[in-house]
Structure 1
Amino acid sequence: MAARVVRRRLALALALAGAGAPPPPTCSQSAAAIPKVKDDAFLRWLRSKAGSGISSALRVGTSPLGLGLGLGRSLLASRPIQEGDCILQLPHTAQLTQDKLPQEVRLLLDDDPIAGDTAAKVAVLLMMEQHLGHESGWAPYVTSLPSKDHMHNMMFWDLNELHTVTSSSIYDETIQQKEHVLRQFSAVKPALENFPHLFGEIKLEDFMHASALVSSRAWQTLRGVSLIPFADFLNHDGVSNSILVYDEQKDVSEVIADRNYAVGEQVMIRYGKYSNATLALNFGFTLSRNIYDQAHIWIDMSEEDPLYKKKLDIWQKHRTPKSEHACSSGCTRTSFAIKEVKYSGDKGVGIPQVLRAFVRVFCATSIEELDAMAMEAAENDGRLARRPLKHAEREVHAHRKLLLHLDNMIQGHSTAIEQLEIVDGAASRSMHPFRKEMAKNLLAGELQVFQSVHAWVANYCKTVRSMS
């Protein structure tokens, strides 16, 4: 049977979100800056590696439409394609996976849990093939991959570029990802230094490059993390129903067309339902309109509140999911992922119930209120403060506290976007144009989410007050 596979984030975990259908990009990489792929020679090599045909429906081309890992390339229909056709099929033998590392290298890496991470081992394999150069059996694929200078994953942004998105949670995510890769490098380096003939000089920049290629291009199948040549020339369409799937019985990865394509039309797939933050962090591009965008709101809880310990005890016992983090300023900080509110109403679709429960709990003014919330959670399914507070004024007060947090996030994002749009500003002078466009898309998408939630909460407060 076939198991559904989606492109997996191989660095730090972020809440999965998604991306909308991409319009023609306003800023794109020059095709001249991308490694050239000799179509016929590449496919001949890949067919020989696979021992079978790869695709008779697709050819390598270029297209201004769509963004993704093709990076100036695309796969075009070489014949009419019908919905349901299998348009690409690649066996496990023709994929770069950890089992293709020399056994002696794998054994040393397995001695350390960080170095033995599956994605880290695929990155190490890629480094080895890159060092071998034309002697590598994977040279046609490895040389087709973009250099570090042509990648825009946020791991490669400098501090000035990252400063443009400090109002977004993606700033902290990027710093954490960089630190994670640095820890992985420190773990793998001692092992790789035992094999200078395979790896040469072990450099952090080479490991970062390989890790970014894996985190953006690798796919998670039942056989593990795989780099799949040719498949990663497919660009991203967030509303496509075509995804890479793994057929366990045949031991192949394949793509099934989700619609009809005419000859010469670009064929696209969905990498996943990812937000612009995820696309920027792990894939190195964003969309000007991302229908699956989301944002994070952080709320601090002061220990100076006389009911703090009681509130914290109830929150820790009943909160779902467990998203609390300690911060260094004598408070507890909690992060919530929110999505654009699609329509108004008392449910507030896009606003997690756990967020509204949080503000109710930490705006409570008496032990009696807290006990009532805890009792409600115990009597139902354990979720805390699912229902509006019976006291209308307290319900409005709690949600107005939420509005204040949203106001701060809206102001921060608006200011950041304004700074990016100043023609002679610092960002315009020093930031890569493509990354600047990425930052604007990311911030604008999150701003729209915040504004939609703010509008719903403000309307909810008016409704509750009018009914009291």
Structure 2
Amino acid sequence: MKLQEWLVNGGVEGLSLLQLEDFPDTGRGVKTLRSLKSHDVVLTVPGSLLWTADVALSDPVIGTVIRTVEPPLSVDDILAVFLLFIKSCETGYDGRRAHVELLPTSYTASIFFNDEELEICAGSSLYHLTQKLKQQIRDDYLQLLNKLITKHPDLFPLERFTQDDYIWALCTIWSRGMDFQLSDKQFRCIAPFADMLNHSLDVELCHIYDPKLNRLQILAGKEYKAGEQVFINYGPVPNNRLLRLYGFILTDNPHDSYDLVLTTHPQAPLYSQKVALLESIGLQVNSTFPLKLSDPLPLNVLQYLRIQRLSSSEISTLAVKHEAKDKISARNEAEILKALDEACENLLAGFSVSFEELETKIASGAYQKGSNAWAAAHVSIGEQKILRATLQKAKELLALVICANCGKANENNKRCGRCRKVVYCGVDCQKSHYKEHKVLCKASGE
């Protein structure tokens, strides 16, 4: 049974007006054979044809076996086992096997980069997460091997359930899966044919899952003419995630981010009080903050650090306010901004290839456009841009806390009346610093 026949028989609507095609920029995608207005229904896929954890668990052949695994398998592992089981079948499951046969045989996610390619973005969150992901995959496969595969060799022949096969299945799920937040859970699925649609930021978010009707729909995210490629929008995904999960990047991606991880050690002074204060404003003791060019130093980062660096005399004051939106004290603010300054400097120094060198290599063609090296370079450039912006913001804020001449953090420090960009603890420091400051000050006043 061919895929299209299975989909039509299964109740998929809209197929007759769509066609798979290879496009020069994006590769295989979906073309519309009719004009579409924004929000027109393009494709409807019934839930019975989706690849989901529930469908796998209810499968009459392997469902019971998967359900016996303790602790229960993750959604991704359930889907991976289901995919590989269908792929290994020589009879039955005709429609799903037809779908599997159309899936890519290889992927370009960052876990497939060689050491030299990955080293180009060393220092980036992509680099660290990719290394961590590789180890996690090895660990997860070993558990799957021990808990399921070796116990049921008749269902899961080892030669078709190797670690490489497992990685292929995971990449299929990551690159082709769709996620929806339902009222009671996170729902992940792969929708046959809909999984061929490519990503574009130029369209609205246009894929919806209706749990009551148990169906997935693709809507037109913009107007299309007949013959144009139809896109979906994956959402505000940064390049470090696009490359890690989907195997591509967008140049000048407006959603690029650097994930700043903040944590407080349990042995830190006043730990329990600080944790309570963090939780009172919706932050966890182990928190990850996405830094972006549009907001390189979010308020919640400052809030976290202000609480983290509280002294015993300051903590009672903040406990009454239950806030950390504003400066708590000059001492506290100076400490957190100096720490941020140092952290950003260290993070930038940790990149294996500098921002300037990467831009030069891209401009000169040293990294072939579209290659792994080229993609890794773009990710590194994006993250370094953000960290530079965060560093600059921290320096600007610090200049409004410590005296520009003597460096003291004083509650009574006053801003320069002309430029308003630096502060002084008194007239003597202002006069002493004027020779150094006057060029910047006059330029700011122009």
TM-score (norm 1): 0.73
Query: Paired residue for 2:87?
Result: 130
Query: Paired residue for 1:28?
Result: none
Query: Paired residue for 1:199?
Result: 156
Distance of 1:362 and 1:84 partners within structure 2: 47
Alignment partner of 1:143: what SS? helix
Deviations 1:28-51 (A, max 9, x none): xxxxxxxxxxxx964334212x23
How much does 1:264 deviate? 1.4
Distance of 2:112 and 2:71 partners within structure 1: 21
Query: Paired residue for 1:139?
Result: 97
1:108 alignment partner, one of 53, 59, 65: 65
Alignment partner of 1:225: what SS? strand
Closer, same or farther: CA 302–100 of 1 in aligned 2, 3 Å: closer
> Does residue 25 of structure 2 align to residue 88 of structure 1?
no
How much does 1:124 deviate? 0.6
Letter in 1 for 2:383: E
Distance of 1:300 and 1:198 partners within structure 2: 44
Q: How does 1:42-441 map to 2 (within 5 A)?
A: 42-48=3-9, 50-65=10-25, 72-98=27-53, 99-100=55-56, 102-103=59-60, 105-113=62-70, 116-133=73-90, 136-137=93-94, 138-148=96-106, 151-190=107-146, 191-201=148-158, 202-221=161-180, 224-297=187-260, 309-310=268-269, 312-320=271-279, 324=285, 336-340=289-293, 342=294, 349-360=295-306, 367=311, 370-372=312-314, 374-380=315-321, 382-383=322-323, 385-391=324-330, 395-413=333-351, 415-417=353-355, 434-441=371-378
Closer, same or farther: CA 209–256 of 1 in aligned 2, 3 Å: same
Closer, same or farther: CA 415–324 of 1 in aligned 2, 3 Å: farther
Between 290-299 and 78-87, the greater mean CA deviation after superposition: 290-299
Closer, same or farther: CA 214–311 of 1 in aligned 2, 3 Å: same
How much does 1:379 deviate? 2.1
How much does 1:173 deviate? 2.0
How much does 1:89 deviate? 0.6
Q: Which has the larger radius of gyration?
A: 2
Matched-pair identity in %:
20
Q: How many residues align?
A: 391
Closer, same or farther: CA 129–462 of 1 in aligned 2, 3 Å: same
Deviations 1:100-146 (A, max 9, x none): 46445333323334552222111111101111257641222111111
Say if 1:236 and 1:269, in contact at 8 Å, map to a contact too.
yes
Closer, same or farther: CA 187–88 of 1 in aligned 2, 3 Å: same
Alignment partner of 1:220: what SS? strand
Say if 1:131 and 1:198, in contact at 8 Å, map to a contact too.
no
Distance of 2:12 and 2:263 partners within structure 1: 58
How much does 1:359 deviate? 4.1
Say if 1:403 and 1:458, in contact at 8 Å, map to a contact too.
yes
Closer, same or farther: CA 115–193 of 1 in aligned 2, 3 Å: farther
Closer, same or farther: CA 398–261 of 1 in aligned 2, 3 Å: same
Distance of 1:52 and 1:110 partners within structure 2: 29
Alignment partner of 1:297: what SS? strand
Q: How does 1:437-452 map to 2 (within 5 A)?
A: 437-452=374-389
How much does 1:412 deviate? 3.4
How much does 1:254 deviate? 0.3
Distance of 1:418 and 1:459 partners within structure 2: 23
Deviations 1:351-372 (A, max 9, x none): 23332234445666xx4xx432
Letter in 1 for 2:345: D
Deviations 1:73-100 (A, max 9, x none): 1112211101120011111122223324
Say if 1:97 and 1:226, in contact at 8 Å, map to a contact too.
yes
Say if 1:90 and 1:254, in contact at 8 Å, map to a contact too.
yes
Letter in 2 for 1:357: Q
Alignment partner of 2:44: what SS? strand
Letter in 2 for 1:108: V
Between 82-91 and 164-173, the greater mean CA deviation after superposition: 164-173
Alignment partner of 1:254: what SS? strand
How much does 1:167 deviate? 0.6
Alignment partner of 2:275: what SS? helix
Distance of 1:81 and 1:253 partners within structure 2: 18
Say if 1:338 and 1:351, in contact at 8 Å, map to a contact too.
yes
Say if 2:120 and 2:352, in contact at 8 Å, map to a contact too.
no
How much does 1:279 deviate? 1.2
Say if 1:240 and 1:268, in contact at 8 Å, map to a contact too.
yes
How much does 1:203 deviate? 1.1
Distance of 2:351 and 2:262 partners within structure 1: 16
Say if 1:91 and 1:253, in contact at 8 Å, map to a contact too.
yes
Unmatched 5+ stretches in structure 1: 1-39, 67-71, 326-333, 343-348
How much does 1:293 deviate? 1.5
Distance of 2:380 and 2:361 partners within structure 1: 18
Alignment partner of 2:4: what SS? helix
Give the RMSD, CA atoms, in angstroms. 3.4
Query: Paired residue for 2:439?
Result: none
Closer, same or farther: CA 322–299 of 1 in aligned 2, 3 Å: closer
Say if 1:105 and 1:192, in contact at 8 Å, map to a contact too.
no
Unmatched 5+ stretches in structure 2: 403-413, 416-422, 424-446
More relative contact order in 1 or in 2 (CA 8 Å, sep 6+)? 1
Say if 2:278 and 2:307, in contact at 8 Å, map to a contact too.
no
Closer, same or farther: CA 253–47 of 1 in aligned 2, 3 Å: same
Distance of 2:269 and 2:175 partners within structure 1: 44
Letter in 2 for 1:386: K
